[in-house]
Amino acid sequence: MTTGPTPEIPGPQAAEENAPEATATVGEPSLPELNGPARSRRGRAIVLGVVACVVALGAVLIVLAVRGDESALARAHEACLPDGADGIRLADDDRTLLIDTQGDDDLVGAEYTDVACLLLELEVPDRVVAQIDSTRALDGRQSDAWDRFTATWSYHPDSGLDLLVVED
């Protein structure tokens, strides 16, 4: 029986001959080529980094979306009156703020310091605050608008200030 030529099996010397040549110049360190486990660890690290960035971005967008749904009136109410207060309440899905201060004939009502805090939080223009401050009983119901808000109010010493702020 005749057999064909025996295939040549490359030895360690042949592997060195077929290896890519290093291109480092004198004085420069050569970097090993990433193969096998080192390359897969690097790839996993990159993928995990990208996933972490996507998750973080998603969390930020969710927070912004939730905060964007909350009305400015609700944020001001929470900032000034976290435990609530007599004479001040939100209505109409937090798009209306009703304020009723205590007058001479009232037993309860909002404190003017709470009203001032709300007006500051809502960044009510000075001209509107000046109009509210100077309203007399004879003036009847007054109104003004700014940005995305409309306010109407009246004042009488017996019933105090009644202020309605609506967020459009």
* Residue among 74, 90, 82, 154 at smallest CA distance from 122: 74
pLDDT in tens, 119-151: 999 999 999 999 999 999 999 999 999 999 999
Assess contact for 115 and 161: CB atoms under 8 A: yes
Interatomic CA distance for residues 111 and 154, integer angstroms: 16
Assess contact for 88 and 113: CB atoms under 8 A: no
Model pLDDT, residue 52:
77
pTM (predicted TM-score): 0.60
Could you list the mean pLDDT of each consecutive 10-residue stretch along the chain, which spans 168 residues?
59 54 57 60 79 75 61 96 94 97 94 97 97 97 97 97 97
Model pLDDT, residue 102:
94
Query: Residues 6 or more apart from 85 whose CB is under 8 A from it?
Result: 110, 111, 114
Model pLDDT, residue 57:
74
Handedness of CA 154, 160, 146, 71 (dihedral sign): negative
Assess contact for 99 and 110: CB atoms under 8 A: yes
Give CA angle at 39 (33, 45), nearest 5°.
Answer: 135
Q: Strand 149-156 and strand 88-91: pairing?
A: unpaired
CA distances 141 to 1, 25, 38, 120, Å, are: 119, 87, 77, 22
Model pLDDT, residue 53:
76
Q: What is the DSSP string of 68-132?
A: HHS-HHHHHHHHH-TT-BTTEEEETTTTEEEEEB--TT-S--B-HHHHHHHHHHTT--HHHHHHH
**Domain extents for the chain?**
72-167
Model pLDDT, residue 37:
62
Model pLDDT, residue 45:
77
